[in-house]
Chains A and B, each alone.
Chain A
């Protein structure tokens, strides 16, 4: 992943994309005919939002070779010397309008040009605004565009927090892509209409491999860096709970904030990074770790082991630290069977 700190925007154009109604002819995108005037405030606002969201929740993506979306070709042109931003961005807005249905929120599409790590960069951002917020176009030299005042209004409201982004930049081996669908408190993948139908892309990584790497790295970290037996047990339960949850993605930083003590969070992310495990949001697929999600195993140095279902930990199975390095694992229940270990 690139260093988003270096992300800088130089030019920006914003178009309005309304919601589709049954009678398509009645609505159409409001297309700007000139780049939006950009004050330092507007520029900083977009840069801040992009850096914050991408650094937390971006997925690597690749262009779909069979797509009928014009976006990959338009992006390639803009990254490789096309000077005019207006017409390509209008075509992008039109494409977004075409692939949206009545269930998609109305909003604005912002296309920003700039640099990332010193290389040409293009960001395609869908800002979803609340119903009833009107766009006020203004004219500059006879050309229609969005006013700075309006963009400032958007910046000052919480209504624009939800947005989807495709970020493209010139890499060593062609165009690099990350995509992000950012909603506070919600973890989900990138909406299909935005990723595939609009951007003409698909996710680049294998979710099952990412999930297994993440889980192995977390278990390794728990056993190496977490001293307290109670914390180790609680974190293991949290990991399995996260893997078994209905959420389709895992955000490591959110996992840390939710389940780990503050003093452990930083070393947790560092351990993920050291193990080449995902440190940013990734799609979850537990196919390769399914068997590990049903039981938690505790091994102690005397050779004894306790195996328990995760939902019994803290209830009928309790882990107690004695402070002198010894740990007691208490198991309550009716003994049903005793047998030698089978291979």
Chain B
């Protein structure tokens, strides 16, 4: 194809790539919300001029320009990379995956991020082109550096050596910033108030599914801090995964238990979301449960839970 043929064909096909990029972005946004992984999603179809430049100066043929449809995920923290990878694999065929930072030498700082070449496992709409597209996953710091370097070094061919050095110095600083984000977020999650708030929100979200719809929010606010030792961990994110695995594994049993305690006022906690934390603790380690049970709540209540979830 000569340049005019490429331009003409892409002009015709570009709306389809726009729809493809938008559909991929929507899919990722929804999956991220369901999995509670915080990130932003951007999408675009490649500009015609940019595509022409790529096919004119490079040896890339039209069909091999994968980023005709492009999606970018911008993460809060590098710790969410693994969760994003899981989401991607759930909805798309991964044709290629490249860790750009991993390709740098140990004494080199520069472009970081994960690049995927993807195809939908199942197209959400019939009329979408069944084409490959590119997904870039960046942290905010990586995204900032990528934008800046694109503007300075990629587009302005006349950039000087001092500017390039400044750019790479900035990459090193932004890598530090990413690590600081991880540390600050972990510290914040470990503060008792934040931990209690996170745990409460998680318990409530599951309780309305397997338990009862109505409960006393005031009681939950008062009791969750008291029951936090039953988590057996201060790392909310790690614990959340284990707690949710527990709920998934025992969903039917939990529904059955809560149905039986709907009209039972003896055990005050069973009509509250925090009972899920107690049952989790009983199930995971009965000894640790007994050891960590708050004395203020009394042996009678503790023994009731032993009867509700007996030793295996």
Contacts and interface: CB of A to CB of B under 8 A. Distances in A.
Interface in A30-53: 39-41, 43-45, 47-52
Interface in B253-312: 253, 260-267, 285-288, 290-291, 300, 303-304, 306-312
A45 B311 contact: no
Interface in A46-102: 47-52, 54-56
Interface residues of A, number: 28
Contacts of A45: 266
* Most A-side CB within 10 Å, residue of B260, B303, B310: B310
A253 B264 contact: no
Given A262-B287, A262-B291, A266-B288, A41 B310 contact: no
A41 B307 contact: no
A41 B311 contact: no
A53 to B, nearest CB: 8
A205 interface: no
Nearest to B285: A266
Contact of B311 (A48, A156, A253, A262): A253
A47 B307 contact: yes
B307 A48 contact: yes
Interface residues of B, number: 25
Contact of B266 (A3, A44, A50): A44
A257 B260 contact: no
Given A257-B290, A266-B287, A5 B263 contact: no
Interface in A88-144: none
Nearest to B290: A257
Nearest to A161: B303
Contacts of A41: 263-266
Contact of B309 (A5, A156, A253, A269): A5
A257 B287 contact: yes
Given A5-B309, A45-B266, A47-B307, A262 B260 contact: no
A296 interface: no
B284 to A, nearest CB: 9
Contact of A40 (B253, B262, B288): B262
A44 B288 contact: no
* Most B-side CB within 10 Å, residue of A3, A40, A44, A47: A44
Interface of B: 253, 260-267, 285-288, 290-291, 300, 303-304, 306-312
Interface of A: 3-5, 39-41, 43-45, 47-52, 54-56, 155-156, 158, 253, 256-257, 262, 265-266, 269
29 contacts: A3-B312, A4-B310, A40-B260, A40-B261, A40-B262, A40-B264, A41-B265, A41-B266, A44-B260, A44-B261, A44-B264, A44-B267, A45-B266, A48-B307, A48-B308, A49-B307, A51-B307, A51-B308, A52-B303, A52-B307, A54-B310, A55-B312, A56-B311, A158-B300, A253-B287, A253-B311, A262-B287, A265-B285, A266-B287
